[in-house]
Amino acid sequence: LKLTEACLRCICSVFRHPSAPVDLIFTDCHLLSHLLTLTMQSITNQICVTTIFSCSCKRFEQQHALCDRGIVPTLAALLCSPHSAVLMPTLLCLTNLTYENPKVSYTVITASFGGKSIPDLVVRLVERDRPTEMQLAAARALTNLHRAGALTAEDPKILYKTLPCLVCLCKKERPSHERVLAAETLAYLTEVDTEL
């Protein structure tokens, strides 16, 4: 297990670099499956595998490859983690997975863990008792689900949770990098539905 964790940490470090050859993990579908099987072996594996996938999931084909290999149920389980270090890369992976992809987004909203759907698991991370970075990451994931058509503008998760969260994160007392990302996400959320 320690060797596996060390190898995953190394891959994780490489994949964080902008010039990383992230397409390599998609050349063999068995590699994706193998990485997914390693995920639940330890907290370190959970962090590393979701980071690797979030860094490498940049195109439509990659989103579908990960979805076809069963990443959605894994992400649903990880959204129940008590560890922020697991939740943050999981949310980023979910955000990248659903970006402008209706088919994957519909798969995501129908998936559940412990009797709760993924949107229900994500919306609890928008609450004010969570760190602001987590609130923003969760709001971005819900925004992508909305923009892909999987959640409507009238859905309480969008109207009463995501929208107010993003507005609060745009306030001047927030750090500038956070305000910028919150404002970009808010603009993306409201771009197609002026009723919001």
Quick: pLDDT tens for 58-86.
899 999 999 999 999 999 999 999 999 99
What pLDDT is recorded for position 66? 96
Element (H, E) at 128: none
Give me the domains of the chain, ranges plus CATH numbers: 2-190 (1.25.10.10)
Rounded to whole angstroms, how far apart are CA atoms 133 and 165? 11
Q: Is the pLDDT of residue 119 over 80?
A: yes
Per mean pLDDT, which range of 9-13, 56-60, 73-77, 189-193 is the poorest? 189-193
Residue 150: how many CB atoms within 10 A of its CB? Answer: 23
What pLDDT is recorded for position 1? 81
Q: How confident is the model at residue 196 (pLDDT cuts 50, 70, 90)?
A: low
| H helices, E strands: number in the chain | 12, 2
**pLDDT tens-digit series, residues 139-184:** 999 999 999 999 999 999 999 999 999 999 999 999 999 999 999 9
Contacts of 19 (CB under 8 A, 6+ apart): none
What pLDDT is recorded for position 183? 96
